Amino acid sequence: MILSHITKDYRGTKALDDLSLTIEEGKITAVLGESGAGKTTLLSCIMGLIPYEGEIDGVNGKKPKRREGCSYLFQDAQLLPNLTAEENVRFVLPKTLWEQTGEMLDRVGLKGKEKSYPHELSGGEKQRVSIARAFLYPHKMLLMDEPFSSLDLALKRQLMELVRTLREEEGGTVLFVTHDVHEAAFLAQRALVLHRGKLIGEVDIDAPYPRDLLSPPKEARELVRLLLETGENK
Ligand code: ADP
């Protein structure tokens, strides 16, 4: 996906400032930046939720249309409270895929919880339901906005590994937004660093998987350096 000269102005606040970048197909890309850098705005432009100046894959953003072929994962699992785990997954799927729900819930570690309601599930289990749903929904690109931010460290590591292995098995492009260097270094093959709506760094992370949170890939230092620099220039 090619984004060229994307600018988003919220009545005087330039959330994205003439941003051009490429998101490589079949890879996991992190969009990294401090709070207010423009990360969520960038996802909203890609999703086609808000108008913007510039073009994505040659189509201008004046009258955006909701992008097809995308699946989503957010910080909050966004489950319907009156539906079971299984029903929450099926809710967004065509009927032809319903029979795969059980197997996918098993793969994300929820065997035996298919009939549980969200209030009967822990935070991590709820997020597993939403990971199962995001992967079963037919997509070419998975867009994730801070999906691991509210999880404790051990759970974060487990769910990042889950997303990584599911993507490896299922294919597709993953784009995820985070303010956390460790998440980017653990999961991404490429990190795009945003600051004040501009791209200030592109870092390829070639370390093999599975990665270790205790000894992050060497590229993490470059990401820390970029974030510290921008933090001091706020
Ligand atoms: P991030 O996701 O990196 O925290 P955002 O994309 O949410 O950043 O925000 C980027 C900038 O745009 C911030 O200065 C924010 O206050 C501003 N902004 C975001 N959404 C709106 C909005 N709906 N109206 C006005 N300003 C907004």
Q: Which CATH number fits the domain that encloses residue 59?
A: 3.40.50.300
Examine residue 221 and state whether it is found in any structural domain, yes or no. Answer: yes
Residue 38 CB–ligand 1 contact under 6 Å: yes
User: Which residue minimizes the CA distance to atom 25 of ligand 1?
Assistant: 10
pLDDT tens-place string over residues 145-195? 999 998 999 999 999 999 999 999 999 999 999 999 999 999 999 999 999
Quickly state the pLDDT bin for 56 (edges 50, 70, 90).
very high
Examine residue 128 and state whether it is found in any structural domain, yes or no. Answer: no
State the CB neighbour count (10 A cutoff) for residue 204.
11
Full domain range(s) for residue 211: 1-69+139-150+171-234
Residue 9 CB–ligand 1 contact under 6 Å: no
| Mean per-residue pLDDT, 96-125 | 96
Examine residue 43 and state whether it is found in any structural domain, yes or no. Answer: yes
Residue 50 CB–ligand 1 contact under 6 Å: no
Mutate to test the pocket of ligand 1, among 41, 49, 75 (most ligand atoms within 8 A of CB): 41
Dig out the tokens for 12 from the structure.
Answer: 């005087």
At residue 230, the 3 state secondary structure works out as: helix
Quickly state the pLDDT bin for 231 (edges 50, 70, 90).
confident
User: Which residue minimizes the CA distance to atom 5 of ligand 1?
Assistant: 38
Examine residue 163 and state whether it is found in any structural domain, yes or no. Answer: no
15, HSE (Cβ side, Cα atoms, 13 Å): 18
Instruction: Select the more confidently predicted residue: 233 or 120.
Output: 120
Residue 19 CB–ligand 1 contact under 6 Å: no
Say what percent of the chain tops pLDDT 70. Answer: 99
Residue type, 155: L
Dig out the tokens for 152 from the structure.
Answer: 């404790």
User: Which residue minimizes the CA distance to atom 17 of ligand 1?
Assistant: 15
User: Which residue minimizes the CA distance to atom 7 of ligand 1?
Assistant: 40
Examine residue 209 and state whether it is found in any structural domain, yes or no. Answer: yes
> Can you give the pTM of this predicted structure?
0.94
pLDDT score at 9: 96
Residue 40 CB–ligand 1 contact under 6 Å: yes
Examine residue 77 and state whether it is found in any structural domain, yes or no. Answer: no
Atom of ligand 1 nearest to the CA of 35: 4
Residue 54 backbone zone (phi > 0: left; psi -120 to 50: alpha; other: beta): left
| Domains held by the chain: number | 1
Residue 109 CB–ligand 1 contact under 6 Å: no
Output the CA–CA distances (angstroms, integers) from residue 162 to 23, 92, 125, 169, 184, in the order listed.
22, 21, 12, 11, 15
pLDDT score at 234: 57
Examine residue 112 and state whether it is found in any structural domain, yes or no. Answer: no
Instruction: Select the more confidently predicted residue: 209 or 234.
Output: 209
pLDDT score at 233: 61
Examine residue 53 and state whether it is found in any structural domain, yes or no. Answer: yes
User: Which residue minimizes the CA distance to atom 22 of ligand 1?
Assistant: 10
